[in-house]
Structure 1
Amino acid sequence: MATLTPVAVTLPKDKVPTKKNARDIIGAFLTEDWPFVDPETLTVSYHASFANAHCPVERPKPATGTTTDTLKVFIKFHTDAGGSLEVFKPLAPTRHEEALFSYEYGRTGLGAKVYGFFETQDGTLGRVEEFLDARNMEPEDVENSVIRADVAKGLARFHVLETSLEKKAVESYYEAVVNGLRVYHKMDKLKALGEEGGVSIDKLVDYDFGGKLRNVVDKLQSIGGKTGWCIHDVQFMNVMVKNDAKEGESKVTLIDFEFVMQNYRAFDIGGHFMQKMFKWFDEESRIANCRKYTEEEKKHFCGEYARQWNKLTGDTDTGDRVFQESEYGYLLAITFDIHNMLCFMDAQGDKDPLNLLGLNKLFDEFVAQCSKLNLQD
């Protein structure tokens, strides 16, 4: 059972830990070597994001003798800002629940091991976890059949995880997102922001995504689409490719669980296919300069997924069945991204032309997929 450990640390007002802060937090859990490290010898880098702030910390390798504790760890601070948008707050995990989910995921051997949870004297909560010797996945990585298969198997394992999170009805998610999309339907403010950014998004804003999404969900229900724990935010930066995976070990691991909720498994699978076209944090373009997932690659992925799913659940799903579900999941995932980007635009007045171009690309993909599946009005 994960317990909260008080640590004798008070963070500065800006919440950026000093080297001594970092050493003392880590030393509360890794007790053989870390408590005795000279803080000035540490390499500490602090990164604040929309969700949680995080901090990789590395100590030098001792010149003599042996070392028991790992040399590099990862501190994650559980900030109040959170990645959960207002519309998803009743559904998405709280900061505490997300941290506990990460702990449970790490215990399976699929993700980073969590060494412990802490609370500083100034009330800051966080956790210390294993530092993954890995990099963010690039769109081209999934053109490698081994990596592609490992992502498929990783998602199947994730979807059927045993976890302490409360299972909330899938329909609750669609009520929330459909209502959210209706808020932005035909909103003049969004059109004006697009005009100011030099990229018209009028067609997107006027499109009835909520109504279309209802049709997609009805189709998934009619074919018996299966559900599980979905990540939702399946952009490629949330898949890590290990630099030196051991023999027989998966080459990938999943991270960032701020939006973990029950949903159709098709959401993550179709979303993975869609996200190959985007690099949301690239400074030159949000649209990746690579080819789309081919149908052959999608079917290989779905076959690997089905085998892993069946192994874990006892089902007899086929790759073709998973592929059929994923075609609708592609649309589910697009509406999630569009909703969240429009929400950000409305709240922050965002008119970055790169984001606007990315939005229009999502819209084009949505319309094309609806046509492919005969979902047009």
Structure 2
Amino acid sequence: MAILTPVPVALPDSKEPTKTMVRDIIATFFTKEWPSVDPESLTTSYHATFANGHCPVERPAPTTGTPTEPLKAFIKFHKETGADIEVFRHLVPTKQEEALFCYDYGRSGLGAKVYGFFKTEDGTLGRIDEFLDARNMEPEDVENAIIRADIAKALAMFHAMETTLVKKPVEPFYEAVMNGLKKYHKMDRLKALGKKGGVNVDNLIDYDFAERVKKVVEKLGSLGGKVGWCIHDVQYMNILVKNDPKEGESKIVLIDFEFVMRNYRAFDIGGHFMQKMFKWFDEESKIADCKKYSEEERRHFCEEYAKQWNILTGDSDTGEQVFVESEYGFLLAITFDLHNMLCFMADEDDKDPLNLLGLNRLYDEFVEQYTKLGLEDP
């Protein structure tokens, strides 16, 4: 059980821990070997993101005997704001609920084990997870049929997972998204920021996404779209590819569950297809230099997903059924990213041209898909 444990450490204002702090945090949970580790012998690196900070840690192997405690660990520090976007505040899991979810996920054998959930003396919450020998997935990886099938199976298992989190209806999520999108619709200040950044986003800002989201949700509901636990943030940095998986073991692991909520499974599936076009943490371009997910690849993904979903749930879904759902989920996932980027743009006066170009690409993809599905009024 991921019980909140106090640790005798107070992080500095920067929230970046020293090696001694790292050692003391881990030693709170691993009490035999870690307390005597020389902090200067540790290999650590701290990385800060918008939502969290994280720190992979490695200690030297003992000179004699076999270690009884892990040599490597992964510490995640939750920022106070984290993924706490205003309109989703009442929907996203608390940090303790997220830790419990990760604990359940790790215990299932699908993801990293959670070793401990802690609170520092300065009030920072964090987790110690199993260190995974893996790399972040690249867009080109999904062109490998084996990896693509493993992602499909992993999402099906995630969506159908049994967990201690309360199952909430999906309607409040879309109410929140639509209310947020209405806030930014025709906002002159965002248009002005685009012009300052050298990218015209007027068409995007004037486009009524909220009304169109409503249509998409109604259509997906009429199709009987299935619901499950969705990650929502399915950009490819949140999928790890194992460097040396065991025979018969999945090549991939899903990570980062700040936005885990109940939703149409189509959201994550369509979102996975959409995210192949983007590299949000790239410093040269947010738009990936690769081909789109082909229809053949998407259909293969949906066939593999349906097989795994049916094994877990007893349903008899077809790949075609999942594929049709994913076509609408593609649109819903785009509007989630659009909303969050517009929120950041408005709050931070962001006019980074790379972000603006990414926004316009999302807009273009939405309009193209919406028209293709025959949802636009004649």
Cα distance in structure 2, aligned partners of 1:121 and 1:362: 42
Contact in 2 for aligned 1:229/1:262 (Cα 8 Å): yes
- Tell me the equivalent position of 1:277: 277
Shift of 1:124: 2.7
Shift of 1:346: 0.5
- Tell me the equivalent position of 1:61: 61
Contact in 1 for aligned 2:2/2:99 (Cα 8 Å): no
- Tell me the equivalent position of 2:154: 154
Shift of 1:119: 2.3
Number of residue pairs aligned between Structure 1 and Structure 2? 377
Q: Deviations over 1:214-236 (max 9, x none)?
A: 11111101110011111111100
Shift of 1:40: 1.1
* SS of alignment partner, residue 300 of structure 1: helix
* SS of alignment partner, residue 229 of structure 1: strand
Q: Bigger CA drift: 96-105 or 214-223?
A: 96-105
**TM-score calculated relative to the size of structure 2:** 0.98
Matched, 1:330 2:330: yes
Cα distance in structure 2, aligned partners of 1:158 and 1:125: 24
Matched, 1:248 2:259: no
Cα distance in structure 2, aligned partners of 1:31 and 1:158: 32
Structural mapping, 1:144-183, within 5 Å? 144-183=144-183
In structure 1, give the amino acid aligned to 2:237.
M
Cα distance in structure 2, aligned partners of 1:312 and 1:17: 42
In structure 1, give the amino acid aligned to 2:201.
I
Contact in 2 for aligned 1:5/1:118 (Cα 8 Å): yes
Matched, 1:315 2:315: yes
- Tell me the equivalent position of 2:294: 294
Cα distance in structure 1, aligned partners of 2:5 and 2:60: 26
Shift of 1:121: 3.0
Shift of 1:8: 2.5
Q: Bigger CA drift: 104-113 or 22-31?
A: 22-31
Matched, 1:93 2:90: no
Runs of 5+ consecutive residues of structure 2 not aligned to the other structure: none
* SS of alignment partner, residue 47 of structure 2: coil
Structural mapping, 1:1-377, within 5 Å? 1-377=1-377
* SS of alignment partner, residue 115 of structure 2: strand
Shift of 1:112: 0.7
* SS of alignment partner, residue 56 of structure 1: strand
Shift of 1:22: 1.0
Shift of 1:126: 1.5
In structure 1, give the amino acid aligned to 2:327.
E
* SS of alignment partner, residue 281 of structure 2: coil
* SS of alignment partner, residue 54 of structure 2: strand
* SS of alignment partner, residue 317 of structure 2: coil
Q: Which runs of 4+ in 1 moved over 3 A?
A: none
Q: Bigger CA drift: 119-128 or 142-151?
A: 119-128
Contact in 1 for aligned 2:4/2:96 (Cα 8 Å): no
Shift of 1:98: 1.3
Shift of 1:339: 0.6
Shift of 1:356: 0.6
Contact in 2 for aligned 1:6/1:118 (Cα 8 Å): yes
**TM-score calculated relative to the size of structure 1:** 0.98
In structure 2, give the amino acid aligned to 1:186.
K
Q: Report % sequence identity.
A: 71
Cα distance in structure 2, aligned partners of 1:358 and 1:127: 32
Shift of 1:79: 2.3
* SS of alignment partner, residue 127 of structure 1: strand
Contact in 1 for aligned 2:299/2:320 (Cα 8 Å): yes
Contact in 1 for aligned 2:93/2:261 (Cα 8 Å): yes
Shift of 1:368: 0.5
Q: Bigger CA drift: 99-108 or 172-181?
A: 99-108
In structure 2, give the amino acid aligned to 1:189.
R
Cα distance in structure 2, aligned partners of 1:6 and 1:335: 39
Contact in 1 for aligned 2:305/2:319 (Cα 8 Å): yes
Contact in 2 for aligned 1:82/1:95 (Cα 8 Å): no
In structure 1, give the amino acid aligned to 2:113.
K
Contact in 2 for aligned 1:180/1:339 (Cα 8 Å): yes
In structure 2, give the amino acid aligned to 1:49.
T
* SS of alignment partner, residue 237 of structure 1: helix
* SS of alignment partner, residue 304 of structure 1: helix
Shift of 1:59: 0.6
Contact in 1 for aligned 2:277/2:288 (Cα 8 Å): yes
